[in-house]
Amino acid sequence: LLDLFGFESFAKNDIEQLLINLANEALQDMYCKQVLIAESLLYKSEGLRVEEITFVSNSPCVDLLVREVVPLLDEQSQLASGTDKRFLTNLYKAHKQNPYLLLPHAKVRQECFCIRHYAEDVLYTIGNFTQKNDNSIPKDLMNTFLQSKVPLLVSIIGEVSEARAKQEKQKKKAVTVAGEFAKSMSALTTELGRSQCSYIRCVKPNAMMKARVFDQQYVVTQLRCLGLLQTCEVLKV
């Protein structure tokens, strides 16, 4: 059973929303491949006539996020002089022709970028991306922990401090939040690809989180975005 992450789109979206929506894209892509494509190929191999099921592939958006957006963000996060502004400039410079990277309004273009997700277009606001992407513990905080009277805490932080010193000596790139998240998602989708999954899809009755309120249009939009209408067409055979 696979519990999919909840897609997020707020008035202001930060790196947390970017990573959550990356997980959504990757898992939705896996769902389409395992259910829609695999079932259609199975029917054809058994000589059953089925109509072609059309759906929007998530792979181009996943590729943009994993292979382009995350590496560019990591690059700036690992530089002492790296900034969100340079990350945004490099992103537009390298991928302005990508149909899944949309140009926002000119008034906010210097501080935002927009990704065309399967559920909806999401505007992300820079400013804290490189800072939040730093996965290391500040040295001042580590030194404070090392002065603790709790032996277990001193032992844990000591190991972290030694690992960091070894990493700096070998001139290895620092581990980032986005980079590790992307690796984890890749490992998860690889494992799912080798598994036989059963999916439980959750649908929100309304966007206001209110009880006993059923927004028909809101629900239908979710069903379409999740590929559930196409799934019904495939499985009814």
* Inter-residue contact 5 to 24 (CB < 8 Å): yes
- Report how far residue 207's alpha carbon sits from residue 11's, in angstroms, rounded to the nearest whole number: 14
Residue 52 has, within 13 A of its CA and on its CB side, a CA count of 2
Does this model's pTM top 0.95?
Answer: no
pLDDT band at 201; cut points 50, 70, 90: confident
Least confident of 44-58, 141-155, 156-170: 156-170
pLDDT band at 133; cut points 50, 70, 90: very high
| Mean pLDDT, residues 210-225 | 90
pLDDT at 5: 55
* Inter-residue contact 11 to 207 (CB < 8 Å): no
* Inter-residue contact 25 to 57 (CB < 8 Å): no
pLDDT band at 168; cut points 50, 70, 90: low
Q: What percent of the chain is predicted at pLDDT more than 70?
A: 93
pLDDT at 23: 94
| Mean pLDDT, residues 11-28 | 95
- Report how far residue 117's alpha carbon sits from residue 8's, in angstroms, rounded to the nearest whole number: 11
SS3 content of the chain, % helix, strand, coil (to 5): 55, 5, 40
Beta-carbon count within 10 A of 150 CB: 9
Higher pLDDT, 196 or 124: 124
Token pair listed for 208: 């206001």
| Mean pLDDT, residues 3-23 | 88
Encode pLDDT of 94-129 as tens digits: 998 999 999 999 999 999 999 999 888 999 999 999
* Inter-residue contact 7 to 22 (CB < 8 Å): no
pLDDT at 55: 75
* Inter-residue contact 120 to 9 (CB < 8 Å): yes
Token pair listed for 158: 């000591």
Task: Give the chain's mean pLDDT.
Answer: 87
Q: Strand 121-125: give its sheet, edge to edge.
A: 101-102, 112-116, 121-125
pLDDT at 51: 75
pLDDT at 3: 56
pLDDT at 135: 83
With b for 16 or more beta-carbon neighbours within 10 A and e for fewer, the 177-207 pattern comes to: bbbebbeebeeebeebeeeeeebeeeeebee
* Inter-residue contact 70 to 182 (CB < 8 Å): yes
* Inter-residue contact 94 to 75 (CB < 8 Å): no
Strand partners of residue 176: 134
pLDDT at 2: 56
pLDDT band at 60; cut points 50, 70, 90: very high
**Size of the chain in residues:** 237
pLDDT at 37: 79
